Structure 1
Amino acid sequence: MKSSRIQSFAAGVLIANSAPHLATAVTGRQHLTPLAGRGSGPKVNAVWAALNLVGGTLLLRASRRGGTERWDGDLIAFETGCLAFASWMAGSERWLRTNTARQE
């Protein structure tokens, strides 16, 4: 049960991480990825988004083994993972400007 909550939390983080990379791919912009650094273009971001979605999906399926039909605490863990990652990214973009064009 505890491991399923950890897997659900990690899945939430990965799936939340896929959203900005998918948006980057769709809009044709650049966004930092570990695959190609700061200048990662839309195609690299599409790959990174897909990897995060697949990883998150696999973790969710693994967390379900032997579980019930209902989410129970795993849903809260998943949502907390999404919230934690989104909060971290909003804060880091606000103060560190990792993906913001620098003014000269």
Structure 2
Amino acid sequence: MDGSRIASFAAGLLVANAAPHLATAVTRRRHLTPLAGRESGPAVNGAWSALNLAAATGLLVWSARGKPARWDADLVAFGLGHAVFAAWMAASEAALAPNH
């Protein structure tokens, strides 16, 4: 796997991680973050979501450098990263309930 595929996979992970934190911020709930632990409120979750999206954007810009305007296997890597994180999140919430 080349560097752009790895970057695209990592960007998919980050985008998938950003989504529940953004949903938490919008709905004004609490959700675990590395910034403030289990009691992270909406503002902290919004910040964590923004950091994840910024990092994902940087990785995607880097992975697209010098490439044609159409997606290649990077899109598959991005989708796989997103799916892997979503599956891990669903399984960990079901088994461990860290946010309940």
| TM bracket (short chain) | over 0.9
1:58 positional shift = 0.5
Rg larger for:
1
- After the TM superposition, list the runs of 4 or more consecutive aligned residues in structure 1 that deviate by more than 6 angstroms: none
Secondary structure of 1:11 counterpart: helix
Which letter maps to 1:5? R
Unpaired runs of 5+ residues, structure 1, are none
TM-score (norm 2): 0.98
SS in 2 for 1:47: helix
1:55 aligns with 2:55: yes
Is 1:82 the counterpart of 2:73? The answer is: no
**1:64 matched to 2:60:** no
Deviation (angstroms), 1:93: 0.1
Match of 1:40 in 2: 40
Residue matched to 1:7: 7
Letter in 2 for 1:46: G
The alignment yields a C-alpha RMSD, in angstroms, of 0.9
Cα distance between partner residues in 1 of 2:65 and 2:28: 38
- Please give the TM-score of this superposition, normalised by the length of structure 1: 0.94
Residue 84 of structure 1, CA deviation: 0.3
- Alpha-carbon deviation of 1:34? 0.2
2-structure distance, mates of 1:57, 1:30: 25
Shift of 1:17: 0.4
Q: Whole-Å Cα distance in 2 between the matches of residues 77 and 66 of structure 1?
A: 18
Give how far 1:70 is off. Answer: 1.3
Aligned pair count? 100
Q: Which amino acid aligns with 1:3?
A: G
